[in-house]
Amino acid sequence: MTYKYSGTETWTGPRQALAFDHTKCGTRKGYRQHQNHGTPTCQPCRDANTAYMNARNATHHGHPQEIAA
């Protein structure tokens, strides 16, 4: 695959995959690394993602509240 940038620069070849950084396990970034690398997600990363999503859902009002009749 060839990409043409503005000017005369061109880049040819696939993107290089970054190595999995196990020091990020237990964080949201670690969870995303598992997904990007296609590796099974460890429990600390699942817990971190759950905490992130719970906090995100608590602050973002994506779901309408039921109105008591």
pLDDT digits (tens, 9 = 90+) for 19-30: 888 888 999 999
Predicted local distance difference test score (pLDDT) of residue 51: 93
Predicted local distance difference test score (pLDDT) of residue 19: 80
Dihedral of the CA atoms 33, 35, 41, 43 (nearest 10)? 70
One-letter amino acid of 27: T
Angle between helices 28-37 and 43-59 (to 10 degrees): 120
More confident residue, 67 or 42: 42
More confident residue, 15 or 55: 55
Mean pLDDT of the chain: 78
Write the DSSP string, 1-39: -EEE-SSS-EEESPPPPPPP-GGGTTSHHHHHHHHHHTP
- Determine the Cα–Cα distance for residues 67 and 52; give it in Å rounded to an integer: 27
Give me the percent of the chain exceeding a pLDDT of 70: 61
